[in-house]
Amino acid sequence: KRAMSAVKFQRLAARAIAGIAGRRKVPFLVGGTAFWVDTVAYGLRLPEVRPDPALRKRLAAKSATALLAILKKLDPARAESIEQKNPRRLIRAIEIASALGRVPHLVKHSMFDTLWFGLKPSYEVGLHKMVERVDKMLRRGLVAETKKLLASGVSKKRIRELGFEYRAALDYIEGEIPSRAPLEKKFLTGRAALSARLARDTRAYAKRQMRWWKRNRDIHWIKNPKEAELRIKTFLQKTA
């Protein structure tokens, strides 16, 4: 499988947006990793630093804590703003800082007129959707897919880079998720322990993403579909 980067995503998304606009339709960019969405919507100029295989190999065995300590020495400012528990992001930041002296400030130069919407469900709705998402992942065969990746020769390191869902599935396959996992004063075993781990990691990921979105003052946090519809009509009239 080919690795996707923010630079590649930005390029492909821009191409898709141009194609949609060329058909006189309005493109929507929905969900996804906050930073990647920003690279497209704001046209962020990303540093052109080639991957350093030797450096990546040396860093691969280090923990996120150790990687963060290295980044703090190279670029304290980036160490403060980065997703501090994501080894892949940390390694890339170290790679850039090692090549350029620091991770450069990202400059906005977007060619798009963008209307930002944010949805913030109630705690109860959010919890229900999280449980639903975890259940769907397991029913669709997350564990089986991870086993298939292993069987096809994809390295464990690469699988762990695919996201927290695959890290949890790999730990489950290798017996590294405790057979008895405490959660809300209950003890879970087997698939239930995996489900609890996925729920915990999903909550943590959602909190990190929300912290990022809250810094974006362009986002309109809408409460109902009618509000969204009114804002869309006003926006399209102004940009027509």
pLDDT attached to residue 168: 92
Question: Can you give the pLDDT at residue 162?
Answer: 84
DSSP collapsed to 3 states, the chain: CCCCCHHHHHHHHHHHHHHHHHCCCCCCCCCCCHHHHHHHHCCCCCCCCCCCHHHHHHHHCCCHHHHHHHHHHHCHHHHHHCCCCCHHHHHHHHHHHHHHCCCCCCCCCCCCCCCEEEECCCHHHHHHHHHHHHHHHHHCCHHHHHHHHHHCCCCHHHHHHCCHHHHHHHHHHCCCCCCCEEECCEEECHHHHHHHHHHHHHHHHHHHHHHHHHCCCCEEEECCHHHHHHHHHHHHHHHC
Tens of pLDDT, residue by residue over 96-126, are 999 888 877 777 777 788 999 998 888 788 8
81 Cβ contact partners less than 8 Å away, ≥ 6 residues apart: none
Tokens of 93: 């930041």
* Residue ranges for the chain with pLDDT beneath 50: 179-181, 183
Residue 178: predicted pLDDT: 64
CB proximity list for 80: less than 8 A, separation 6 or greater: none
| Res 151: pLDDT | 95
The predicted pLDDT at position 50 comes to 84
Q: Indicate the average pLDDT of the chain.
A: 86
